[in-house]
Structure 1
Amino acid sequence: MPVDRPDVQDRVATRAASQARLDGWLSGYRPLPGIPDELVQPDGTTPQAWLRFLGELAEFPQGEFEDRFALATRHIRDAGVSHRIYGDDNERIWPLSPLPLILGEQEWAQISAGVEQRATLMEAVLNDLYGDAKLVSEGHLPAAAVTGGADFVRAMRGVKPAGGRAMHLYAADLGRGPDGRWWVLDDRTQAPSGSGYALENRMVLSRAFPHLYNAMNVQRLAPFFSEFRASLANAAHRSDPRICLLSPGPFSESYFEQAHLARYLGFLLVEGDDLVVREGQVYVRTIAGLKRADVLWRRVDADFIDPLELNSASRLGVPGLMEAIRAGGVVVSNMAGSGLLESRALLGFLPALSHHLLGEALKLPNVATWWCGQPSERRLVERNIDTLAIARAFGGQGHPALARGPRMLADLTPAERSSLRAAMDARPVDFVGQEVVRLSTTPAWRDGALQPSPFVLRVYATATEDGWKVMPGGFCRVSDQADARALSMGEGAQAADVWVLSDRPVERISLLANRDDVKVRRIMGHLPSRAADNLFWLGRYLERAEATLRLVRSLCTSLMDSDAAVHGTGETLSKLRGLLVEWGAVDEATDGGQVADFVSAALHDETAYGSVIRLIQAARRAAASMRERLSEDFWKLLLNLESRLKGKRGDVLTEADGLARAEGALQALSALAGLTHENMNRVAGWRFLDMGRRVERGVNTCRIMRQLAKDDASLDDLDLLLDLIDSQITYRSRYLEGIALTPVRDLVMLDPFNPRSVAFQIVTLKAHLASLPSLQNDGMPELPTRQMVHLASQVETASAGDLDTERTLEIERLLMGLSNAIADRYFLQGSNATPTKKLGGLA
């Protein structure tokens, strides 16, 4: 009889184990009664795509599936992929589900056709309402349903959008209805979010399961973004347009996504303060003056984009932007006022409008909605108020109990119900009644098992020359609650990648151009003033943190060194502690306590403005404001350093513990410095980061010099000074006679070959300034250059023997003056900024 080989037996056993695991998953899965589910069809069978996907997962050894996903999702934490829940001060790590939403090609074709039709309808309605308004004049829409909300921007009436299109991006939130058909829950026309997170979801899941991702022929997202970028570029009617993503700033709920999209698409990430309007056109404030902005991809709500004409309290917009839009001087996507189409008051009219404008029924119906601004609909809602969901008719206004979406009266407190009924009686136009929607479910992985979870699918469409094109995928939000009638990225919600499968192998496509007509460029680029400001201060904060860490390390070393036992409790130690107090690293109240408490405070006290943790947090905030310009490795190191320092204030430390923490932090800062030195292009951004470092290093060296190199300085003082500026080896190799005051002063202050000396910082700063653009054409040097010449002459003509405290303080003040001159010249220049002249015209 034939004998089975061991490897065959192993394969059979493995297949049996994986089949048993798959059977266990499926048998333990219980769809919610009466709710459509993606994994279990109405006849009880499982779609082949899901069987294939779960079968592949089941073949992983026990625990490997979770391990693979955990390894891939480290990217989320390390890269700082985050979101912010409205009202929260802190960002949250992006919550990603390990299981995608899987949709077949035929089903996706139906979804895609419906979303294309709806985008076409929305654009037609938008053009009419801000144009001839025939839909109102002919009775197809009540005027109050259009003008009753703040999203109707009257200033846009009669304005023809630059580039010819009012909308370039549309999104629809979809869910399955009780009959299994897809329904539109909400339209997103103002500033649709989530597409950047869809990219991140895809990146993480394709890393976790690369073979499965490719074998299942998942359609790529890159072609959609390429179409979107081309759509915006074509609207500008300029060969090399400057496209900007207008962001509300780092405290936006989706700021990470905005930075990620700007980096991915090659757009300039700007905030309102970065822009200025001149003569009907929009310009970006850059270090080289004002540069034309051709396109603004708007992620700021319309009401906030221009404080002169719209919301005067806005600090997010650009004064005069509406004037530029009316003059056709800038393409804005989506057009101000497009948020009108998100109004629930319009939902009940869309089926009839589709017949009127497109000559066909809606392919994707929306939730049945009755606007209370009409008498008959209001009576219907009142009769059925206990079975309908009540919602705001217009976004951003209405009863506070409805702020998070439609609610049933039974879900409200008695006081909220009474207040809501009174508000509906007083102003019914602000409310709609809607059919209660129970979302369908998709499998989610929780506690080692598959569990049905309600979800909402957001699908995106972009306008192209050939019509609307739909992203083959989308942004899926999955709830951890069994009954989710409305879903946002709040507590407990997860995001899921969306896999749209193809019946054929999918071509690998990226945004990298594969053309021969792309021009080669070697330019510094036009760095926005805000980015230059943040880079400059990022450099200063990191350098200040390094200097503080060197003080802490020297303090710990002095106390641990047996030969330093005498001076460790003498004047030199007092000066060292005094520097930490003077720099704000330690509160004066802590100064007289134990050294261990002193060291712990300098490292971890978040209430002391100059402590290491506070400086690293300030560096992280500066970096967060220009996240699109920093590599993932840089961001990862910075976040890890903050994590290691945060929340350790109460730890009981020995001198050895303090030394280990200080040295670990110094190594992390050295790694950050290495990344910037080796990986950043030598363009303006790198120069401002390095200038911040050089200014701070020069100032800190002067401060240390004034304390430790006075005329009566001891050998311990000078030895500590050389330690703090990392110049012990250089000094000892150059001066065999031992430590003396004059040569130490020369090495610390005047030696242009010592990378830690003040003179070296000035030489480097001088080279940076010479490489930066000039705004003046009269041949006269600008203020930073004049300051630089004066400072350099002071150092170059100085004598080490004359470098007393007053002379050192003068050099320190000149460095601070140079820093202020750089800020005045290159950072946000205020309302008086003027465009740069270039080749007889505007750049």
Structure 2
Amino acid sequence: MAAETASQRRSEDLEPSAAKRLSAWLRGYSPLPGIPDELFDATGRPRGDWLSFLGDLAEYPEGEFKSRFDLATRHIRDTGVSYRVYGEETEQSWPLNPLPLILGQSEWRQIARGVEQRAELMEALLQDIYAGATLVEEGQLPAAALTGSIDFLPQMRGVKPPGGRYLQLYAADLGRGPDGRWWVLDDRTQAPSGAGYALENRLVLSRAYPNLYNAMNVERLAPFFDGFRKGLAGAADRADPRICLLTPGPFSETYFEQAHLARYLGFLLVEGDDLIARDGKVYVRTIAGLKRADVILRRVDADFIDPLELNSASRLGAPGLLAAIRAEGVAMLNMPGSGVVESKALLGFLPKLCRRLLGEDLRMPNIATWWCGQPQERALVEQNLDELVIAPAFNTPGENGALTRPGLMADLAPQAQADLRQRLTDRPGDLVGQEVVRLSTMPVLRDGRLEAAPFVLRVYAAWTPEGMKIMPGGFCRTSERPDARAISMGGDARTADVWVIDDKPVERISLLASQDDVKVRRILGHLPSRAADNLFWLGRYIERAEATLRLVRSLCTSLMDSESAVHTSGETLISLQQLLVDWGALDEKHLGAAALESARDALHDATAYGSVIFLVRGARRTAASMRERLSADFWTLLVNLESELAEGAQAPLSEAEALQQVESALQILAALAGLAQENMNRVAGWRFLDMGRRIERGINTCRVTRTFAHDGATPDDLDLLLDLADSQITYRARYLVGLALTPVRDMVMLDPFNTRSLAFQVETLKSHLAVLPSLLADGMLEEPSKILLPLATEVETTDARQLTPAAMQTFERTLLRLSGAVADRFFLQGAHAVPTVKLGGLA
């Protein structure tokens, strides 16, 4: 009855159709029995902010709400917003609910105060663990509750943390308890994730409902991130520090988020192999040599950051990082070792530790937990084994089938139950017992109906120059299962934006700095060697895909155009197919086969390392490893190209359909080239992308010209060569006498005005190398220039009448040497470099 009354009161302000829709939503919504819910309060009355939101949402015309959200979520697909389920190779598209989690200002203040106190408690606890150790000495905390954790690093004892704090960012996973209060489910102190996804969720929903978003006075996220960035900068010992975000790499579960956060905050995204510790400091390997890293925001677990002192098998960090931290040569946040306070073994001690360290009671309780490393608590757990959740006490990887996630005894197989009982006898300190907590629910929209879904809210606290700031919102995950007890980003989880509603209009704030805070600079940029490597190979992949598409187009067009040269018969067809075989796009069995069959396989054979779809997928994987450097439009085009090719492979194509797909793919590649030329700043990253294209195009030009402009070339051969070099119009405008071998060779190989010629590629490469930084202080030429300059002179002075296939092959081999020299000079080298995996045939 209370819900009906509130609904009727809200409906008085709505159009009849909107009022009907709102009433239907509320009547059809059924909270889970005995579980707190966000839409309805304990009395069964809809909460005011939720009622306002749903009422405004109901006013959208029928179907517009869905179309608005679908249009906004295209941003997710187009920009590649994704995550990776642990253990899986493929990425999952980001699953976002169309409804946000809505929290009123009064309730949010309680949450913020609880999280702020919790963050201060974690910091005080870390200060004691790694500095004073008084809690262990006084018997307030068993030593085994700390030393049993892999995240406890004795190497960090006595090390002064940057800025005097171990934590720069803290997060707490929250849920509503049975009494309606918020409870802490987990603490995140190691390297809290999800803040970048919270930004993406906000971007999508604010685009979907811009008027509603502004009218409801939703608190902005930008001030929190601005303070977080300033807090990191304040931890450095230089006024203009270089801040790096250390990522595990593209196969990390949350790599997209890390790249997005680095781009949004202006940080340098680095992997372990980008870093080198030397003389008590840490440097980034760049194309201009070693550049100092002042602050490192890590997303790599502490055990993996230094193979010299910690996990020797790790390739995610760099040797000597701990020594540099101890020497105060770099500020790494959160400090290594901070993950120790995430251990569930400590949860049972936190209430009394809060009184001991902060002099006050916990404002926000956590789940009742009993660590089995204590005899009395172990006995309690054993007596209630069937009623409690059994969980690992520490964040230690499971071995030999050991329990790695919380679970109920009843959910385990008989052998697993026996193993758990034995483990409780042999190593009780590795386990905790916890009270079973069912998560509270929030409304989600499914098939036009509101349904209750369990959720977890992650709230962030950051230390800033103005003190601690709590993100007004957070990262919310919902479950598709009505009885979820814990939620991770698995196959049945979705996310939701979090709207904290202010009592007054919210000031629009961005990360725009004041003019006095920023010094104008124009620099080439200190590009990390790994990023240069990836950009270079991205250019080569894209160019090879384009060259292969042009070969396939020649097969298709000659099948359909009776007026063109007959490329699909005789020696020209064999040469065309042989070139595709040499490039790895076709199997040798296709020599002499029908042109259409060759075209289909060269496009869609995913097992052929030189096929178009294989090359495009290689380009997409390479681009995925440096998303922070590519625009959303660039990524969208690349993903669309892969999708079109994958769809085309589902059914056999006719000549017309194959040609249409080739033309569409070439248009997308042309758009990619246009974005690179017109939208990318002319700094080092663009130059390496373009150098990759120029070297690949030069190699391809030499190879194609040798194939079709040999001494015995036919008019059909020369006509095909001009097609492949996109030079038909220019040639026919310049030469009215028809096709001839020497002028065709000159135009394709030696004409500096033809953007497809070898000469043009060489001159462009000269301009790139002339601008890139040199490591030699004596003014002498570096190896790439030593290779390129003689080649440029030879190409410039060669007469087309003396241009032989042997000379073309020499040019081709010189470009291959140049590619190797560029890699040796600018990319990661030496014992710490990880070999970049390239597709076969791309030397």
For these two proteins, the number of residue pairs brought into alignment is: 823
Give the Cα–Cα distance (whole angstroms) in 2 for the partners of residues 650 and 174 of structure 1: 45
Work out the CA distance in 2 between the residues paired with 1:483 and 1:602: 50
Partner of 1:66: 66
The Cα shift of 1:154 comes to 1.7
Return the offset for 1:565.
7.4
CA, structure 1 residues 750+389, in 2 after alignment: closer, same or farther (shift >3 Å)? Answer: same
**Distance in 2 (alpha carbons) for counterparts of 1:798 and 1:621:** 40
d(CA) in 1 for partners of 2:174, 2:211: 29
Deviations 1:347-380 (A, max 9, x none): 0000000000000000000100000000000001
Tell me the CA shift for residue 164 of structure 1. 2.4
For 1:376, the equivalent position in structure 2 comes to 376
- Alpha-carbon deviation of 1:399? 7.0
**One-letter amino acid matched to 1:215:** A
CA distance, structure 2, for counterparts of residue 221 and residue 21 of structure 1: 31
Q: CA deviation at 1:597?
A: 2.3
- 362-371 or 792-801: which moved more? 792-801
1:303 alignment counterpart: 303
Offset at 1:564? 4.8
Counterpart position of 1:228: 228
Deviations 1:57-98 (A, max 9, x none): 111122211111111101001110000000111000000000
8 Å Cα contact 1:372-1:433 kept in structure 2: yes
Q: Deviation of residue 751 (structure 1)?
A: 0.9
* Distance in 2 separating the partners of 1:613 and 1:811: 29
Q: Secondary structure at the match of 1:241?
A: coil
**Which residue of the partner structure matches residue 660 of structure 1?**
660
Partner of 2:15: 15
Aligned pairs (5 A) from 1:460-475: 460-475=460-475
AA paired with 1:698?
G
* Separation of aligned partners in 2, 1:170 and 1:400: 32
| Change beyond 3 A, Cα 1:50–1:132 | same
Q: CA deviation at 1:592?
A: 4.6
Secondary structure, in 3 states, of the residue corresponding to 1:830? Answer: coil
Aligned to 1:5: none
- The residue identity in structure 1 corresponding to 2:247 is S
Instruction: State how far apart, in whole Å, the 2-side matches of 1:339 and 1:619 are.
Output: 36
CA contact (8 A) 1:548 1:612 kept: yes
Amino acid in the other structure paired with 2:514 = N
Matched, 1:75 2:75: yes
Gaps of 5+ in 2: 1-10, 834-843
TM-score after normalising by structure 2? 0.96
SS in 1 for 2:244: strand
Query: Residue 566 of structure 1: CA displacement?
Result: 5.2
Residue 815 of structure 1 deviates from its aligned partner by 0.6
Pair 1:89-2:57 in alignment: no
The 1:826/1:334 distance shift into structure 2, 3 A limit, reads same
Residue 219 of structure 2 aligns to which amino acid in structure 1?
Answer: Q
CA distance in 2, matches of 1:515, 1:559: 62
Are the counterparts in 1 of residues 128 and 134 from structure 2 also a CA contact under 8 Å?
Answer: yes
Q: Indicate the residue corresponding to 2:201 in structure 1.
A: 201
Residue 3 of structure 2 corresponds to none
Give the partner amino acid of 1:351.
P
1 CA distance for matches of 2:562 and 2:269?
A: 55
Tell me what 1:395 maps to. 395
Identify the residue that residue 642 of structure 2 maps to in structure 1: 642
How far apart are residue 650 of structure 1 and its match? 5.0
Structure 1 residue 237: Cα displacement: 2.2
Give the secondary structure class of the aligned counterpart of 1:646. helix
Matches within 5 A, 1:241-260: 241-260=241-260
Q: Could you give the per-residue CA deviations for residues 34-73 of structure 1, whole angstroms, max 9, x where no partner exists?
A: 0000011111101110110000111112221111111110
What is the CA-CA distance between 1:257 and the residue it aligns to?
0.2
Contact 1:603–1:613 (8 Å) recurs in 2: yes
Name the counterpart of 1:412. Answer: 412
The residue number in structure 2 matching 1:624 is: 624
- Please give the alpha-carbon distance, in whole angstroms, between the structure 1 residues aligned to 2:438 and 2:729: 72
In the alignment, residue 626 of structure 2 is paired with which amino acid?
A: M
SS in 2 for 1:19: helix
Aligned residue number for residue 147 of structure 1: 147
SS at match of 1:23: helix
Summarize deviations over 1:777-806 as a string: whole Å, max 9, x none: 112111111111121122122121111111
2:168 matched residue in structure 1: 168
1:209-608 residue pairs with structure 2 within 5 A? 209-398=209-398, 405-564=405-564, 568-608=568-608
User: How far apart are 1:716 and its partner, in Å?
Assistant: 0.8
CA distance in 2, matches of 1:170, 1:121: 11
Q: Show CA shifts across 1:680-718 (max 9, x none).
A: 001111111111110000000000011111111111111
TM-superposed CA distance for 1:404, in Å, is: 6.1
Q: Judge conservation of contact 1:478–1:495 (CA < 8 Å) in 2.
A: yes
Contact 1:398–1:431 (8 Å) recurs in 2: no
Q: Superposed, which structure 2 residues align to 1:640-789 within 5 Å?
A: 640-646=640-646, 648-789=648-789
Amino acid at match of 1:213: Y
C-alpha separation between the residues in 2 aligned to 1:611 and 1:650? 16
Q: What per-residue deviation string (whole Å, max 9, x for no partner) do you get for residues 570-620 of structure 1?
A: 111111111111111112234454332211111111100000001111111
Shift of residue 294, structure 1, vs aligned partner: 0.3
Code of the aligned partner of 1:599: A
Secondary structure of the residue that 2:276 maps to in structure 1? strand
Are 1:807 and 2:807 matched, yes or no? yes
- Mapped contact 1:120–1:468 kept (Cα < 8 A): no
Q: Is contact 1:405-1:486 (8 Å) kept?
A: no
Partners of 2:574 and 2:591 within 8 A in 1: no
Instruction: Kindly indicate whether the alpha-carbon contact (under 8 Å) linking 1:392 and 1:398 is maintained by their aligned counterparts in 2.
Output: no
- Shifted more, 403-412 versus 599-608: the winner is 403-412
Contact 2:103–2:499 (8 Å) recurs in 1: yes
**Counterparts of 1:185 and 1:403, CA distance in 2:** 19
| Residues 135 and 141 in structure 1, CA contact (< 8 A), matched pair in contact too | yes
2:738 and 2:624 mapped to 1: Cα distance? 47
- How many angstroms apart in 1 are the aligned matches of 2:179 and 2:13? 42
**TM superposition shift of 1:163:** 3.3
Instruction: Describe the SS at the equivalent of 1:460.
Output: strand
The equivalent residue for 2:192 is: 192
Tell me the secondary structure at the aligned position of residue 206 of structure 2.
Answer: helix
Conserved? CA contact 2:443–2:453, under 8 Å: yes
d(CA) in 2 for partners of 1:381 and 1:398? Answer: 21
Q: Conserved in 2, the CA contact under 8 Å of 1:162 and 1:329?
A: no
Determine the structure 1 residue equivalent to 2:821. Answer: 821
Distance 2:477 2:403 in 1: 19
Whether the 8 Å CA contact 2:567–2:720 is kept in 1: the answer is no
Measured at CA, do residues 764 and 482 of structure 1 come closer, stay the same or move farther in structure 2, by a change above 3 Å?
same
| Shift in Å, 1:732 | 1.0
Amino acid at match of 1:140: Q
Contact 2:565 2:719 in 1 (8 A): no
| Cα drift, residue 647 of structure 1 | 5.1
C-alpha RMSD of the superposition:
1.5
Cα distance in 2 for partners of 1:223, 1:724 equals: 54
Instruction: Please state whether the residue corresponding to 1:89 is helix, strand or coil.
Output: coil
Contact map agreement 1:392 1:399 (CA 8 A) in 2: no
Structure 1 unmatched ranges of 5 or more: 1-10, 834-843
1:91 is aligned with what amino acid?
Answer: E
Equivalents in 1 of 2:397, 2:783: separation in Å?
50
Q: Is the 8 A contact 1:136 1:142 kept in 2?
A: yes
Q: Deviations over 1:229-272 (max 9, x none)?
A: 00000110211100000000000000000000000000000000
Matched to 1:232, the amino acid is: L
Cα pair 2:555 2:596 within 8 Å, conserved:
no
Sort the Cα spacing of 1:67 and 1:162 in 2 relative to 1 into closer, same or farther, 3 A: same
Alignment-mate amino acid for residue 424 of structure 1: L
Q: Deviations over 1:167-188 (max 9, x none)?
A: 1000000000000000000000
The alpha-carbon deviation at position 398 of structure 1 amounts to 4.7
Classify the secondary structure of the residue corresponding to 2:396. coil
Question: More displaced, 45-54 or 643-652?
Answer: 643-652
Relative to structure 1, the CA distance from residue 398 to residue 750 in structure 2 (aligned partners, 3 Å threshold; closer, same or farther) is closer
Amino acid aligned to 2:278: R
Query: 1:610 maps to what in 2?
Result: 610
